[in-house]
């Protein structure tokens, strides 16, 4: 595919992603209280834009930052699921819990997520020890997230979708085991196995099932939207 064709195919999705982020950011500021998770819902769409850029590079069979295929499509998928998906799931987790301490912990994770992602990117670029630090950080993030939701009185979602949320939060705790082994130089799977048993399982089990459960559970923000006051006649 030529660069012009790739731009034509991806221009509309990119503009839609930017628009979605702007709309969510506006809604975050329109609430009675400005909450970190509502900002995170908007900020997560930056990763979608990044994913589409890397996808465009892959479709053009080109390279970016010295990386060509298959790293271009792997990076595109990583932006989409480890970036947008994981951050959005954590933002929804903030909406679910009722315990204030658990909520504070989850809000800290909203900041840690992008930092861990940047460290992962540094590891891919070849900086020493970043792979190990990033993998360990993500393992801790997902474990802390699961415990915070379980202990945080997740009463703001119905029981049935709540069960699927817990399942979705458990998935990356398990799939980070081969990622840790890979980062620390004792791989359990080859690259193909990592794509299947780490990447695909996380994409479907954590992000896919998790977001679907949150949407079906209709979890609401901790802060309502401000209602416009009509002037007195």
Q: Which residue has the tokens 């590079």?
A: 57
Tell which residue, 160, 227, 173, has the closest CA to residue 205: 173
In the prediction, which pLDDT does 232 show? 47
Predicted local confidence at residue 128, as pLDDT: 86
pLDDT for res 230 = 46
Half-sphere exposure (Cβ direction) of 6: Cα atoms closer than 13 Å: 14
d(C-alpha 14, C-alpha 19), whole Å: 9
**Residues 17, 11: Cα–Cα separation, whole Å:** 10
| Confidence at residue 69, expressed as pLDDT on a 0 to 100 scale | 84
β-strand partners of 67: 64
Tell me the mean pLDDT per 10 residues along the chain, length 233.
85 96 97 96 97 94 86 92 96 97 97 94 85 95 97 93 97 96 93 94 97 95 77 47
pTM for this one? 0.93
Q: What are phi and psi of 127, to 5 degrees?
A: -70, 135
Are the CB atoms for 73 and 42 separated by under 8 Å?
Answer: no
Model pLDDT, residue 125: 78
> Reduced to 3 states, what is the DSSP secondary structure of residue 199?
helix
Angle, helices 100-124 vs 71-78, to 10°: value is 170
Query: What was the pLDDT predicted at 233?
Result: 47
What pLDDT is attached to residue 124?
80
pLDDT of residue 66: 82
The domains of the chain are located at 3-217
């Amino acid at each position: 595919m030529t660069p012009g064709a790739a731009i034509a195919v991806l221009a509309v999705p990119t503009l839609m992603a930017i628009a979605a982020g702007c709309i969510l950011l506006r809604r975050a500021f329109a609430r009675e209280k400005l909450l970190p998770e509502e900002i995170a819902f908007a900020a997560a769409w930056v990763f979608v834009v990044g994913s589409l850029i890397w996808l465009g590079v892959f479709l053009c069979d080109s390279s970016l930052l010295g990386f060509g295929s298959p790293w271009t499509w792997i990076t595109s998928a990583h932006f989409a699921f480890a970036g947008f998906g994981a951050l959005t799931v954590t933002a929804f987790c903030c909406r679910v819990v009722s315990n204030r301490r658990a909520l504070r912990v989850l809000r800290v994770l909203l900041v840690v997520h992008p930092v861990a992602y940047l460290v992962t990117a540094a590891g891919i670029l070849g900086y020493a020890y970043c792979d190990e630090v990033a993998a360990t950080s993500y393992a801790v993030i997902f474990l802390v997230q699961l415990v915070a939701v379980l202990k945080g009185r997740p009463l703001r979602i119905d029981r049935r979708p709540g069960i699927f949320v817990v399942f979705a939060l458990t998935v990356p705790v398990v799939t980070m085991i081969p990622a840790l082994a890979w980062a620390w130089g004792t791989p359990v799977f080859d690259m193909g196995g990592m794509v299947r048993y780490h990447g695909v399982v996380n994409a479907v089990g954590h992000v896919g099932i998790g977001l679907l459960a949150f949407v079906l559970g209709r979890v609401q923000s901790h802060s309502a939207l401000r209602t416009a006051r009509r002037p007195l006649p």
